[in-house]
Amino acid sequence: MLLLMIKSSLGERSTVTGLAERMQLTQSTVTELVTRAESAGLVRREQSLDDARVFWLHLTADGDSRLSRAVERNGGERRRLLELLMGAAA
């Protein structure tokens, strides 16, 4: 979910604060998730050129690749769920 939230952010980058708001989690929880993802080589932090207090989060090539594979793997399941939901609404 973290990788998807970063990828879907404006400019494919986000801050911990921005992620915490979007994911409705505490900032400390998101910080821990980001630290783990960074240690795994999935996310990198880049200090803002405009404000030294801000660090932008970006997916690494490996993070982007893993996210793409997860989306591909689960695409059929999402289509099936959508079909079920659309059938229930009819």
What per-residue confidence (pLDDT) applies to 90?
53
Could you give the C-alpha distances from 1 to 47, 52, 89, 90, in angstroms and in order?
23, 27, 27, 30
Report if pTM > 0.75: yes
What per-residue confidence (pLDDT) applies to 89?
55
Q: List per-residue pLDDT tens for the chain, 90 residues long.
A: 899 899 988 999 999 999 999 999 999 999 999 999 999 999 999 999 999 999 999 999 999 999 888 888 887 777 776 677 777 655
Structural tokens at position 14: 């986000």
What per-residue confidence (pLDDT) applies to 82?
63
